[in-house]
A and B are shown apart, each in its own frame.
Chain A
Amino acid sequence: MSAAMTSPAGMQGEPLLDIRNLSKSFGEDRSLLQVATGKPARVLQAVRNVSLSVKPGETLGVVGESGCGKSTLGRCIAGLYDPSAGEVLWQGKPLTAIGDRKAASRQIQMIFQDPYSSLNPRMTVEQTLAEVLKAHGLVDGGKARAERVDELLLTVGLPPRLKDRLPHALSGGQRQRVSIARALAVQPQLIVADEPVSALDASVQAQIINLFEELRDRFGIAFVFIAHDLNVVRHISHRIAVMYLGEVVELSEADALFDAQRHPYTKALLSAIPWPDPERRTAAAGLEGELPDPLNPPAGCSFSTRCAWVEEACRARHPDLDPYSNGHLVRCRRMHEIA
């Protein structure tokens, strides 16, 4: 990567990651009544028929509220969940063609929200990082390994003298840097970051976001950046997918999405952000109601129960994710009327 911010339009060629019609469902245990009456267990469709691609060096933002399936999607990409249907292609081949789970994890790494529970509290920073190097047989010899640990720490902006610390002796920002160093240890091509800055204070959040951008520019790593904070996602992403009730409802280049949303949910989500400017107060009523029960999604359009634009036809038929313009997909049958 030479340019600091290569636009996705400039990234030609094969996608690194290609998700096709991916679904993931979780079965509820059958109750005694259901067993007795022969009814099937209820199924929660956490991710429904999602197709997305990520090009090398690209950052794809995934936004949505809790329960929209964004974390489940991230875990399917990272191989932590097996999809119920659909496939994940890596450089055009099924993910399983890379090899076993370990081989796949050398290509795709994951970073989690809470840098406290995602680090082993009994392992020092050095042990945490050295374990990855050992497990993947990446560096031979203790001395070389120690050097690589120092190098990784410097890459994420931590002084190597911190390597003997346990996680509890580090601040939240430092812990998240260790998580990032651990992900970088295998030199992955893609990092799935699930809410990596939401547990951090504003001043530290900006440090970590800048670090992600540095890593992208330096190593050409692609990111799937999952977050609920739209301002953060807009800042870091080339393209953004908006999810609602397990589905992608809008997919667009980041700036285009913020300039003109075509799905009523995206519109509502953006207008709900408390904008840090007292001159721009919004008094208008926002989105009403709450997320429908995912065990019992509404018929027709998933958003129809809360949508201000809803018509009878919206409840009758489930809309497809259709192109609005080049590179801008919207799952709304009234997308051309919504300005």
Chain B
Amino acid sequence: MSGTTSLLRVDNLVTRFNGHGPAVTAVDGVSFDIRPGEIFGLVGESGCGKSATCRSLIRLFGGAAAEIAGGKVLFDGTDLAELDDRGMEDVRGARIAMIFQDPMTALNPTMRIGDQIMEGLRRHRGLGRRAAREEAVRLLASVGVTSPESRLGAYPHHFSGGMRQRVLIAIALACRPQLLIADEPTTALDVTIQDQILKLILRLRDETGMSVLMVTHDLGVVAQTCDRVAVMYAGRIAETGETRQIFRRPAHPYTRALLDALPAHAGRGAKLKPIGGEPPNLAAPPPGCRFHPRCPHAVEKCQQTLPELEMIEPGHGSACLRVKELGL
């Protein structure tokens, strides 16, 4: 992606979880970049390492014994992996903000909505009480919360799931971040509310010029929102490219199988085409290509060689050893 400066460049990131039992390498050599103002999708099934990847970026592991075992996270010229905790705190919330899947557990149930929004404004932007209050009202209005003034005193349990997600987005936007990490932001919501929140994120991106890292399992969400996308499988990137490229010409057997398995893509009355088997256990991943036990195209070399991401057309990479001979 020559000629374009990236806001974020992740280079060969490795993240390991050391819990009970064997260490789990949840992120195993992941590289991608996000440009200013871009919505970049990280898509995959549960346990593929997409959430671990975005948590590694801001080093928030929720108390899990995780360590970044290798790689670089270059954000606007700074390697975040090198920062100390204090330095990370200044980045987190201020320049990189994150919203989560479950808007109930992400908000403090004992704190008023207004105070939760103002906390970041006072900590990172140094606003006084009155200015923070005015800004909080403005933020709530910008995310589509009606009569924002009167909502400042409300508690999270007064709000519906969709409203809570709007509040979380308001908190995330409070410090005008350059990058918003959205980890399954609409998975817990109903489809009409999901539609509202996705359109809100698109509008805010257009208005503020921030970049968005959209983490999702839903290829529909990717198709509707993302400019570029990386497909993850078992801790590694299987394929990356522009969203259009990936959907029009999937160049990895996993991406192709995932698209084929969608009921929306099945013909009327036709059977669905599931992927056989289940995703691998990351504590003991299969040797060679991680997808080979489930891949209809696997040959012997797939069991031995771990494929690297290779460009097959400008901006479109695939980690499949057989991508050329299969004509994917």
| Chain A residues in the interface with B (C-beta under 8 A) | 5, 65-66, 171, 173-174, 201-207, 209-210, 213, 228-232, 234-235, 255, 268-269, 271-283, 285-288, 290-291
Contact = CB atoms under 8 A, between A and B. Distances in A.
Contacts of B269: 5
Contacts of B268: 255
Nearest to A230: B191
Contact of A201 (B190, B194, B217): B217
A290 B274 contact: no
Quick one: which of B191, B193, B199 has the most chain A CB within 10 A? B191
Contacts of B278: 171, 173-174, 204
Contact of B217 (A173, A202, A276): A202
B222 to A, nearest CB: 8
A286 B263 contact: no
B195 A276 contact: no
Contacts of B160: 290-291
Contact of A209 (B46, B199, B272): B272
Nearest to A277: B223
B195 A272 contact: yes
14 contacts: A65-B191, A201-B217, A202-B219, A202-B258, A203-B274, A204-B274, A205-B274, A228-B190, A231-B264, A272-B194, A274-B218, A274-B225, A276-B265, A279-B244
Given A202-B261, A277-B247, A286-B196, 12 more contacts: A202-B219, A209-B272, A231-B262, A272-B192, A273-B191, A274-B194, A274-B198, A276-B223, A277-B223, A278-B244, A281-B223, A286-B199
A201 B50 CA distance: 14
B190 A205 contact: no
Nearest to B161: A66
Quick one: which of A210, A275, A286 has the most chain B CB within 10 A? A286
A274 B243 CA distance: 14
Contacts of A171: 278
A207 to B, nearest CB: 4
Given A274-B218, A276-B262, A277-B247, A287 B192 contact: yes
Contacts of B45: 201-203
A222 B191 CA distance: 27
